Amino acid sequence: MNLDLTGRTALVTGSTSGIGAATAAALAAAGAEVVVNGRDPGRVAETAARIGGRGIAADVGTAEGVAELVDQLPDVDVLVNNAGIFAAQPVFEIPDSEWQRFYEVNVLSGVRLSRHYAPRMAKRGWGRVIFVSSDSSVQIPTEMVHYGLTKTAQLSLSRGMAQELAGTGVTVNAVLPGPTLTPGVREFVASLHPDVEFAEAERRFMAGDRPTSLLGRLIRPEEIANLITYVASELSSATTGGALRVDGGVTSSIIP
């Protein structure tokens, strides 16, 4: 199976760490010209240099940041809407400002970028739009309802956009990672069990907080990137409008 992306340009938002960085590296390894994005110019430049790509620092959680990015990068063949934020907060204590901030970053960033790039892909007859959603889109976490809401919204977005782009050669899909060993998750898990080594903290976390996981461990970012790279490739041409799970079996349902 040859996941050759030579000649394709890919933009991965929020790609200076975690799933985004792993995805940028995987797409570059498959031959794509990868554009790394994040808010910190130093981290963007460092990540881009590491994978041999290009960096554009811009805050895609704002309309101004998206405008700045697309001005520098008018066209892409692969758009990975990965930028996102999460935090734990009791649902009845979340103020309007936080609901709005989560929606702006996790949902509207993908709306704005897809609205610019996807129609241009359709005119060229080929393209891939990928939303990095979460298992939290179908199993809403009680401690992060605002996060779960935005991840569910991404499923509606990807399906609706796929329908609009039917027959154009452009596919739109959502990828649903499960609990993944990103820097933020590592810090969170370690804080729950500060008295033990991380391997034991990870085991306890999965056994207590994610007992339905069939892996029994946190997913590694590279494992998420593998699926995203396939979806970005020519070989995924019949996969569109889907919600594709890469959650380690943590979601106890057959669909999605």
Q: Tell me the residue ranges of DSSP E strands in the chain.
A: 9-12, 33-38, 54-57, 78-81, 127-132, 170-177, 243-246
Half-sphere exposure of 166 (CA within 13 A, CB side): 6
Catalytic residue among 103, 117, 147, 230: 147
- Taking CA atoms, 205 is separated from 137, 208, 254, in Å, by 20, 5, 24
The reply to whether 147 belongs to the active site is yes
Both tokens of 113, joined, read 């970028």
Tell me the C-alpha distance between 27 and 225, whole Å: 8
Contact 16, 34 (CB under 8 A): no
Active site residues: 147
